[in-house]
Copies of this chain bind each other. A is one copy, B any other.
């Protein structure tokens, strides 16, 4: 198989019950996932940039969380508006988007 150059993981966790820390799914994570998918397809990168949704990453208060491997870069508080910047700067440009890094 061809391994990805970058594999983007977006937490789209949904849980039931009271959620004091919020939920990625309730914070536009599905929209973020769709936006990444659109960018990847539009730029013909489907063969080298993979994207997957994940279950809860345990960082709910910092969600939506986006991880990029094998880079091991973790972004928090991502919004759909940030997707283009992550694609341009990180995926295509090779530069981490500092302002979105999880501390």
Which A residues are closer than 8 A to B by beta carbons? 1, 3-4, 7, 9, 12, 50, 52-55, 57, 59, 67, 69-72, 74, 102-103
> In the complex, A71→B103 CA distance in Å?
23
Query: Smallest Cβ distance from A58 to chain B, in angstroms?
Result: 8
Q: Which residues of B contact A3 (CB under 8 A)?
A: 72, 74
* Min distance, Cβ A64 to any Cβ of chain B, angstroms: 14
Docked CA distance A61–B67 (Å): 26
6 tightest Cβ-Cβ pairs between the two chains A and B: A69-B69, A70-B70, A53-B55, A52-B54, A70-B72, A1-B102
A1-B74, A4-B72, A9-B9 given. 4 additional CB < 8 A pairs?
A3-B72, A3-B74, A7-B67, A53-B55
